[in-house]
């Protein structure tokens, strides 16, 4: 599995597992647990979650599914913006740790920007880091202006920015990805198959057929083809997990990339950052 090195030195797989909407439907619980375990067994040991997902239900599911292999994992969770102040972040973090059944998060992210000043969130994250509750901290859904403000507010320790990035959401390539690249801050690409909506695209299907892959594999390989991008697809079945894992070994040719560029053009101008 190709890896990405975070600014603090931690090495993580370039393909992880998302968990939004997991743990919410009892009928799917066993499949979801099997899927997460299969993914970890296949090297997708980075697991992304958030206190928001199912009001903590996704974190609880992860704790149940992966508690026995905690030390193999790189656990990422996210705090609501309204919890990103000094006191509330410590409480939110403790709640996430309890649901996950662990004593530390490997990466803790501000889920999106709210009204708490970024400088206060930086101090709150650093306090959690000093206390050993989190190993790294970062952000999500922050555009260039916000990132500049974050750095100016003392946020040089930011370890990642989790963004909506896939073939149909290439806006970040204009300004944000070069900005992050210049500061060696990795990107976590969320909704890398656009929640499944991408998979019926004719060009994607054609490229996939030509190289003997599936549309999901091509979409994931595309998201990961840039250095320092970690893709975090959510898959609720073992079959989807296995299919997605193979994408990490798929190398797209210049011809494949050109065909995808033609169908999903690069942004010609800066656009506001999109989020789901």
Ligand X SMILES: NC(=O)c1ccc[n+]([C@@H]2O[C@H](COP(=O)([O-])OP(=O)(O)OC[C@H]3O[C@@H](n4cnc5c(N)ncnc54)[C@H](OP(=O)(O)O)[C@@H]3O)[C@@H](O)[C@H]2O)c1
Beta strands of 107-217 (E only): which ranges? 107-110, 137-140, 161-164, 187-190
Q: How far apart are CA 5 and CA 164, in angstroms?
A: 20
Among 10, 64, 126, 194, binds ligand X (CB under 6 A): 194
Cβ atoms within 10 Å, residue 257: 14
Q: How far apart are CA 214 and CA 200, in angstroms?
A: 11
Does position 193 interact with ligand X (CB under 6 A)? The reply is yes
Q: Which of 53, 108, 165, 190 is catalytic?
A: 53
Among 69, 131, 152, 276, binds ligand X (CB under 6 A): 276
Among 60, 96, 162, 201, binds ligand X (CB under 6 A): 162
Helix (H, G, I), strand (E, B) or coil at 39: helix
Among 216, 224, 250, 259, binds ligand X (CB under 6 A): 216
Least Å distance between CB 235 and ligand X?
4
Does position 168 interact with ligand X (CB under 6 A)? The reply is no
Q: In what order do the strands lie in the sheet with 46-48?
A: 46-48, 74-79, 107-110, 137-140, 161-164, 187-190, 229-231
* 53 catalytic per annotation: yes
Q: Which of 251, 227, 265, 244 is nearest to 15 (CA)?
A: 244
Nearer to ligand X, 133 or 234 (CB): 234
Does position 195 interact with ligand X (CB under 6 A)? The reply is yes
Cβ atoms within 10 Å, residue 94: 12
Nearer to ligand X, 24 or 149 (CB): 24
Site string for ligand X, 116-155 (x = CB under 6 A): ------------------------xx--------------
Residues 58-117 that bind ligand X (CB under 6 A): 111
Beta strands of 6-86 (E only): which ranges? 11-13, 46-48, 74-79
Alpha helix (H) residue ranges in 141-269: 144-152, 176-182, 202-211, 215-224, 238-247, 254-263
Does position 208 interact with ligand X (CB under 6 A)? The reply is no
**What residues are labeled active site?**
53
Q: Which residues bind ligand X (CB under 6 A)?
A: 18-20, 48, 111, 140-141, 162, 190-196, 199, 216, 232-237, 240, 243-244, 275-276
């Amino acid at each position: 599995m190709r890896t990405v090195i975070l600014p603090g030195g931690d090495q993580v797989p370039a393909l992880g597992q998302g968990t939004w909407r997991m743990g919410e439907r009892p009928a799917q619980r066993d499949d979801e647990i099997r899927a997460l375990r299969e993914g970890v067994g296949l090297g997708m040991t980075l697991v992304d979650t958030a206190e928001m997902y199912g009001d903590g239900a996704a974190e609880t599911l992860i704790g149940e599914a992966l508690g026995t292999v905690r030390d193999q994992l790189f656990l990422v969770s996210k705090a609501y913006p309204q919890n990103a102040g000094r006191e509330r972040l410590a409480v939110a973090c403790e709640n996430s740790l309890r649901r996950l059944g662990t004593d530390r998060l490997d990466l803790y992210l501000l889920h999106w920007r709210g009204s708490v000043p970024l400088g206060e969130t930086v101090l709150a994250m650093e306090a959690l880091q000093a206390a050993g509750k989190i190993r790294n901290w970062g952000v999500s859904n922050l555009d260039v202006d916000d990132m500049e403000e974050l750095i100016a507010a003392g946020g040089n320790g930011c370890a990642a920015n989790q963004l909506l990035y896939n073939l149909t959401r290439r806006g970040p390539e204009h300004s944000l990805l070069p900005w992050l690249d210049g500061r060696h801050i990795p990107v976590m690409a969320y909704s890398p198959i656009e929640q499944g909506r991408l998979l019926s695209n004719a060009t994607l299907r054609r490229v996939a057929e030509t190289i003997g892959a599936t549309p999901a594999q091509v979409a994931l390989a595309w998201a990961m083809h840039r250095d320092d991008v970690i893709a975090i697809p959510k898959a609720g079945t073992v079959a989807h997990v296995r299919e997605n894992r193979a994408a990490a070994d798929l190398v797209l040719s210049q011809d494949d990339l050109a065909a995808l560029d033609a169908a999903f053009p690069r942004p010609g101008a800066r656009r506001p950052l999109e989020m789901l």
